[in-house]
């Protein structure tokens, strides 16, 4: 998906116009919508699924659904497109996680060893830190991980996350703060374990 190479933002009135044009089958409007949102949807999916290929499939599936809903008039913009889009994305991620659990195949524990980073593309320290962060994120409860992913991978504002998760913004802010504290604690414990 080549459109996932940049992340930009648009004003609500620009999104309204894009959605109206996209509903009328305007290819340029579709390209702009994908440029605005595909990278963030992909990042949120990949953070949860951890498979680039599956995250891309989910992203494409989300945009197919968006296209179907817009062009058939099933979705009418009321200033909530972003939260609607990410709710669809998170539902797809959850569906995929449930499907994977039902079809889980026993895996050799050796296959969970970290894959060495390509020294040309990622500095060793950065690769190590990224692996450390991913390991810590995986230890968080799903609800905490979801908040962090929506905020930091999908780059969503708290108001949009509150709409997606159907929770008050204040509650979400407190949960986000606690989730970050838990993440920091997990990472610090892991660091202490490696220095002893």
Tokens of 39: 């990278």
Which runs of consecutive H residues, i.e. helices, occur in the chain?
Answer: 12-23, 27-49, 52-71, 81-102, 124-139, 142-148, 158-165, 169-195
Q: Helix 27-49 crosses helix 52-71 at what angle (to 10 degrees)? A: 140
For the beta carbon of residue 144, count every other beta carbon within 10 angstroms: 19
The rounded Cα 146 to chain-centroid distance in angstroms is: 8
102-161 confidence digits (pLDDT tens) = 755 554 544 444 444 444 454 556 667 777 788 888 888 888 888 888 888 888 888 888
- Round to whole Å and give the CA distance between 110 and 180: 30
Fold topology of 1-102: Rna Polymerase Sigma Factor; Chain: A (1.10.1740)
CB–CB of 50/92 below 8 Å? no
Tokens of 44: 């949120």
- Round to whole Å and give the CA distance between 165 and 23: 26
1-15 confidence digits (pLDDT tens) = 433 334 455 676 788
For the beta carbon of residue 81, count every other beta carbon within 10 angstroms: 20
43-90 confidence digits (pLDDT tens) = 988 888 878 899 999 999 999 999 999 989 888 888 889 999 999 999
For the beta carbon of residue 163, count every other beta carbon within 10 angstroms: 18
Domain chopping of the chain, boundaries: 1-102, 119-196
Name the class of domain 119-196.
mainly alpha
For the beta carbon of residue 151, count every other beta carbon within 10 angstroms: 19
* Percent of the chain's residues with pLDDT above 90: 26
């Amino acid at each position: 998906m080549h459109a996932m190479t940049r992340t930009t933002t648009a004003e609500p009135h620009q999104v309204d116009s894009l959605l109206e044009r996209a509903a009328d089958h305007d290819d340029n409007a579709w390209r702009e919508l994908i440029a605005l949102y595909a990278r963030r949807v992909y990042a949120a999916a990949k953070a949860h699924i951890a498979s680039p290929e599956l995250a891309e499939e989910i992203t494409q599936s989300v945009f197919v659904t968006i296209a179907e809903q817009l062009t058939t008039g099933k979705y009418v913009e009321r200033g909530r497109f972003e939260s609607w889009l990410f709710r669809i994305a998170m539902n797809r991620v959850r569906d995929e996680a449930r499907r994977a659990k039902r079809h889980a195949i026993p895996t050799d524990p050796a296959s969970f060893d970290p894959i060495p980073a390509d020294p040309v593309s990622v500095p060793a320290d950065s690769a190590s830190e990224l692996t450390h962060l991913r390991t810590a994120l995986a230890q968080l409860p799903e609800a905490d991980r979801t908040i962090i992913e929506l905020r930091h991978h999908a780059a969503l504002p708290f108001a949009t996350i509150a709409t997606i998760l159907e929770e008050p913004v204040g509650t979400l802010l407190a949960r986000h703060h606690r989730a970050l504290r838990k993440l920091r604690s997990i990472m610090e414990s892991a660091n202490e374990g490696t220095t002893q």
